[in-house]
Amino acid sequence: MPCRVLNTLLWLLVLLGAACQDGSNSNSSANSQRLSLNAAYGTPVVDGSGADAVWENLDWQPIDQPWQRQMTQAADFKGRYKVAWDENNLYFLVEVEDDSLTENALPNIEAPRLADCLILFIDEDASGGDRAGYNAFVYHIPLDGRIFNAVPDSIWQTLDDHCWMRHIRRDNTSTWEIALRVYDGKQYRPNGENIPKLLKEGKKIGFALAYGDRDSEPQWENIIGNIPLNSQKAETAWQNTDSYLVLNLLR
C-alpha cells in the first residue's frame, strides 16, 4: 500500500477515535450532572403509618442538603423519605423531626411560606429546563394539609385533587404518607379535564423534595432539600428542573 494512502488512513483513524472519545466524555458529563434514585413498585395503604411491605423493603433517603442559609442543627431539623409507585400514583413516605412546628396562623391566606411546609418537585418526563407553564409542578404541603402549586406568575394555585395524603403529628415529629397523581404538564390545562398519566416500568421522572422550616421569623428560615444545590441554583430551583434527580420506576 502506498505510503501516502497509509498515512491518510492512519490520520482518519486518529480523527475517528478522537470524535468517539469526545462523544463518550460528553455523554458521561451530561449523565453525571443528574443524580438518580430507583423507586420500587408497590401500593401502600395511605394511612400515615408506613406499615407496608413496600416501605419496609426500602432504605430511607436523607433530607440534609441546605438550599437556603446554612444547614440547621440535628436538634432543630432531621428529615428522611422513601418513594414507591404503581400504575396510578407515586407514593411518598416522609418523616420530619422539627423542634418548632409552625402552622399558618392565618389559614385564609394562601401563603405556604408562612408555615412549616413539605415541598415536592415533579417533572413528569424528566425533560429538564424551565418550568414555564406546567413543565413541572411544585407542590407545597403545609401542616394543615392543603396543597398549593407555585405557578410561574407567583400566584398560588390550590391542587388538592392531585393527591391523597395522611399527615400524622406526634410531638415534634411529622409523618406524611402521600399518593400523588402524575400529570403531563405539557398537556395540562388549569380548570380543565386533565387525565393523570398511567405509570409503567422504565419511566423516568424528574424529582426533588424539600422542607421549608419556619421557627421564629415571618417566613422560612431555612429550606432543606434532598439534593445538593449551589447557592445560585437554590434560589431558582423551583423555576428550573435541570437540577432535579431522575426517579427511575422499577419493579
Q: Specify whether 10 is located in the same domain as 59.
A: no
Judge if 148 and 235 occupy the same domain. Answer: yes
Q: Is the pLDDT of residue 5 over 60?
A: no
| 59 phi and psi angles, rounded to 5 deg | -80, 145
Rounded CA-CA distance 223/251 in Å is 32
Q: Indicate the pLDDT class of residue 135, thresholds 50, 70 and 90.
A: confident
- Which is higher by pLDDT, 117 or 26? 117
CB atoms closer than 10 angstroms to residue 12: 10
Task: Give dist(CA 145, CA 167) in Å, integer.
Answer: 7
Residue ranges making up the domain that contains 183:
36-249
Q: Between these two residues, 239 and 175, which has the higher pLDDT value?
A: 175
Residues 3 and 104 in one domain: no
Q: Is the pLDDT of residue 24 over 60?
A: no
Same domain? 82 vs 122: yes
**Average pLDDT for 106-118:** 63
Whole-number pLDDT of residue 231: 61
Distance of CA 198 to the CA centre of its chain: 19
pLDDT digits (tens, 9 = 90+) for 136-146: 898 988 877 77
pLDDT of residue 20: 37
Q: Mean pLDDT, to the nearest integer, of 110-117?
A: 66
**Same-domain check for residues 143 and 193:** yes
Do 242 and 148 share a structural domain? yes
Task: Name which of 65, 63, 68, 1 is nearest 217 in CA terms.
Answer: 68
42 and 18, same domain (yes or no) = no
Q: Are residues 66 and 118 in the same domain?
A: yes
Same domain, 150 and 235: yes
pLDDT value at position 106? 52
- Say whether pLDDT at 27 is over 50: no
Rounded CA-CA distance 158/147 in Å is 6
Alpha carbon distance 85, 157 (integer Å): 25
Q: Please check whether residues 9 and 49 belong to one and the same domain.
A: no
Per the model's pLDDT, the better-predicted residue between 205 and 106 turns out to be 205
* Structural domains of the chain, count: 2
> 99 and 45 in one domain?
yes
Of the ranges 24-33, 85-94, 110-119, the best mean pLDDT one: 85-94
pLDDT digit string, tens, across residues 52-94: 999 999 999 999 998 876 555 545 689 999 999 999 999 999 9
Q: What is the pLDDT of residue 216?
A: 56
Residues 41 and 27 in one domain: no
Averaged confidence pLDDT in the chain: 78
Beta bridge partners of 139: 120, 149
CATH code, 105: 2.60.40.1190
Sequence-separated (6 or more) residues with CB below 8 Å from residue 192: none
